[in-house]
Structure 1
Amino acid sequence: MASNLGWTAIEAEFNHVTTSDQSETPGIRQVFYARYIGWFLSWPGVLYALELVAHQGNLEYNLKTLSSLALEIGSTEIYVLGLLIGILIKSTYKWGYFTFAVAAQLFAIGIIFNRFLVELKTPIKYVLVFSFITLLWILYPICWGLSEGGNVIQVDSEAAFYGVLDVLLFGFVPLALSFLNEKTDDQLTYPEAASEAPEGKKEEAPAARQSGETAVQAETQDGNEVAEQV
């Protein structure tokens, strides 16, 4: 996008923004499909980070967790594809795809909130982080309506709007989640090692004596060891 690549020209539905050299009304608007390809590839990583945080670092790969993650990713990808198809349509039909996209977005938000608050009872600090993510997430359709959808703001203003949201959502938020979920070696638990480790130093029971002579030799060795320790 910085190299002015990954875009196409689509006739706008409304003529709110005009250019001095436009030859038709409404004018032609530059729309970047590369942005949506980036979102399509980036969103699964953010959703996986949220699921990891919801489990407080101990993610269990059971059927329920995998199904929830699949629903979250699937609905989010539908959201991105709906917005992408919408920018490539010049007629009012674009708002139908916008509606499908927003419905999929709200469905994904509902699933994640249900995981945080009902199923996993995640600590409040993580719920607040996800609330911030939700706020950013809701601003994307608003920007879409003002730019590619409604042709209200210029393309450079659109790039600045989306750019700030992308830096916060795909840069700052994952970094914040990493710090919030960071664990030291003292906080980590290793179930297998814990079960094998002895609770304390236990005295070993003396071996069974097979004969009187063996018992005398063993007692002599024990006496020598005690003398050496003294």
Structure 2
Amino acid sequence: MIKPTSTSHPVDPIPTVAPTPTEWQHAGDSGMRTLWIVFAVMVITSGVFALLSWNVPVSRRLYHVITTLITITAALSYFAMASGQGVSYNCVAVRDHHKHVPDTFHDVCRQVYWARYVDWSITTPLLLLDLCLLAGIDGAHTLMAIAADVIMILSGMFAAFGAEGTAQRWGWYAIGLLAYIFVIWHVALHGSRMVRAKGQGVKRLFTGLALFTLVLWTAYPIVWGVADGARRTTVDTEIMLYAVLDILAKVGFGLWLLFSHRRIPETNVEVGGWWSHGLASEGRIRIGDEE
């Protein structure tokens, strides 16, 4: 019989790789505290804005009503996020490289606060309406600016839930940026021409508020790009950055507008009819009236 001979070069065992568990990126204690703090700020600010309207005639409360609705909507959004609602996970597959075995993949799931986009789709059109009323922009340009703004916000939400590293995510991001250019054109450029007829005081106020809003709104897509887009920051850092921007864009904007509005009579927007006096008495049925 032929007996097998031993070899001096034993075969090494096949290397194995333990699968990497799913990585969860979610808000921590600092992020949750920030959400509750901003909720309280928005509630308090809404009360302040409501108090400021008490000594203003109903026909001149349009700015107060719009600005109060902005902070109330933001308060509801932050309450939803702080209480664990209005949030979902977007999972992407990440490649793990190895030397002697094929690459493996593991999932990275990050929290996406879709309640934030619901907030922005309501509050940013109201902010634009404030600016358009202040500058005296016509209804056609106002409507187009609001439509472009809604497209911008929805594009950001679709991009946040898009697949990682695909044209889907960054395509929506590009659509949102293009819509933002239309917002700037309809409000900033067209408004700067319309506001000249309302005097220097209104012109300075509109220019300051429009520039303030433009700078802040430009920061939003930058934060999105490094947070939801590239996932280079933690969820807590993302929450804090958006919190600062939201407070400045809503609370800061509202305080600046309402206090300046009280000092500049030319900013008044008189709204009569149903807004101030209700439905007229004509057409009501009265007992004893002839047919």
- Render the CA deviation track for 1:30-53: whole Å, top value 9, x for unaligned: 111010001111112111111122
Q: Which residues of 2 match residues 14-29 of structure 1 at below 5 A?
A: 25=106, 27-29=108-110
Whether 1:88 aligns to 2:169 is: no
Q: Which residues of 2 match residues 39-50 of structure 1 at below 5 A?
A: 39-50=120-131
RMSD: 2.7
Q: Identify which of 236, 239, 242 aligns with 1:162.
A: 242
Per the TM alignment, residue 83 of structure 1 is displaced from its structure 2 partner at its CA by 0.2
CA distance in 2 between counterparts of 1:77 and 1:31 reads 19
Q: Percent identity?
A: 26
Whether 1:37 aligns to 2:110 is: no
CA distance in 1 between counterparts of 2:147 and 2:251 reads 22
Per the TM alignment, residue 150 of structure 1 is displaced from its structure 2 partner at its CA by 0.5
Contact 1:54/1:115 (CA < 8 Å) preserved in 2?
A: no
Contact 1:14/1:150 (CA < 8 Å) preserved in 2?
A: no
Contact 2:261/2:268 (CA < 8 Å) preserved in 1?
A: no
Whether 1:75 aligns to 2:148 is: yes
Per the TM alignment, residue 77 of structure 1 is displaced from its structure 2 partner at its CA by 0.2
Whether 1:178 aligns to 2:258 is: yes
Contact 1:13/1:150 (CA < 8 Å) preserved in 2?
A: no
| Structure 2 residues without counterparts, runs of 5 or longer | 1-80, 96-103, 197-201, 271-291
1:140 aligned residue: 220
Give the counterpart letter for 2:244 in structure 1. V
Per the TM alignment, residue 124 of structure 1 is displaced from its structure 2 partner at its CA by 2.6
What is the TM-score normalised by the length of structure 1? Answer: 0.69
Per the TM alignment, residue 148 of structure 1 is displaced from its structure 2 partner at its CA by 0.6
Distance 1:25 1:169, change over 3 A: same
Distance 1:168 1:41, change over 3 A: same
Whether 1:119 aligns to 2:194 is: yes
User: Runs of at least 4 residues of structure 1 off by over 4 A?
Assistant: 12-15, 183-190
What is the TM-score normalised by the length of structure 2? Answer: 0.55
Contact 1:13/1:149 (CA < 8 Å) preserved in 2?
A: no
CA distance in 2 between counterparts of 1:32 and 1:153 reads 15
| Structure 1 residues without counterparts, runs of 5 or longer | 16-22, 56-63, 191-230
Larger radius of gyration: 1
Per the TM alignment, residue 113 of structure 1 is displaced from its structure 2 partner at its CA by 1.5
Distance 1:188 1:171, change over 3 A: closer
CA distance in 2 between counterparts of 1:51 and 1:173 reads 14
Q: How many residues align?
A: 175
Distance 1:75 1:11, change over 3 A: same
